[in-house]
Amino acid sequence: ATSVCFARKHIRSFLQEMAAALTAPSGPVALAPAFRLTHTAVNSFKGSADNDPSYIMGLASPAAAAAAVAVAGSERELKLYDRATLQCTRTVAAPAHADRVNEVSFAPPRSAAAGLLFSASSDGAVRAWDCGGGGGGGAAPSLELRGGREEVWSVSVSDGPLVAAGTQAALLLWDVRRADTPAARLEVHTDAVSAVRFQPGSATALVSGSVDGLICSIDCRQTNDDDAVTGVINEGRPVSSLGFFGPEPASHLHVLSSLETLSVWDLQQQAGTCLARHDALRREVDMLGEEEAAAGAGDGIDYL
């Protein structure tokens, strides 16, 4: 079986230190503390059989302290794992889509779709799944959203009725109360929209990242491209993933590029301010992996 290792805990520790510095009561916002590696957590998920070729395409947890984590596998299956034991507790759907599952995301508690797990696929669909109760992998989705045949790379759910998806050509928005057709199609990037994230606590504030190297702040109350974009950041590298951190309403963003570099941004200003940039992140993680491997405590890192 194939094992995939994720190095996230040391990045999370760095972001927590940044959040503390950014919310300190004394004086203006200071620059982030120097990046340092404090710990590496290696989570290995293996297939249910020795000949299972599945590997991890995406992870999602309903909350930071949640007991479960959802896993999207390369065999198009969706499974729930116990976060403490890393044992599979339920197969949500197998297969969940007709093509690769690119990302999974839980709806937040205040969302109109609270309790559902959303999956984005190269088959052009976004599906929502009820993760409660039993199931053997043959469950039907609770909701299916489509806006064409374009591959869907990313999905995010607001603290309201909106669901956003990044596709090969556009950013799509749906209202889950009227989900037959997209509520808006925004063509604000010149390449694939690889990452979308609603601001925590917001029903309408969204950021989108693209292979074109740009990050756009979006007001989802607007349906016109020009009116919807409230700010643009030039990351300069193809965006692989992004996310908010800090207390609500979170205004700081961490961005991972396809070149495995990390940057941190303050979105309080329209143009955005880069607080930190780490272009040698992969090399640093590899070095830590070598140290752990030499001590017999780890197997190194496959990818970030």
220 neighbors 205 (Cβ within 8 angstroms): yes
d(Cα 202, Cα 100) in Å, to the nearest integer?
30
- Residue 43: the pLDDT is 45
Dihedral sign (CA 62, 66, 68, 70): positive
Tokens describing residue 61: 């947890």
Tokens describing residue 269: 């200003």
Please report, rounded to a whole number, the percentage of residues in the chain having pLDDT higher than 90. 53
d(Cα 301, Cα 12) in Å, to the nearest integer?
16
pLDDT digits (tens, 9 = 90+) for 182-226: 999 999 999 999 999 999 989 999 999 999 999 999 999 999 999
pLDDT digits (tens, 9 = 90+) for 53-88: 678 889 998 876 678 899 999 999 999 998 888 888
Instruction: Indicate the residue type of 38.
Output: T
d(Cα 29, Cα 146) in Å, to the nearest integer?
42
- Residue 181: the pLDDT is 94
Tokens describing residue 153: 């790379």
Would you call 210 helix, strand, or coil by DSSP? strand
| DSSP state at residue 138 | B
d(Cα 240, Cα 164) in Å, to the nearest integer?
17
d(Cα 199, Cα 5) in Å, to the nearest integer?
28
- Residue 42: the pLDDT is 47
d(Cα 215, Cα 79) in Å, to the nearest integer?
31
Residue 270 or 246, more confident: 246
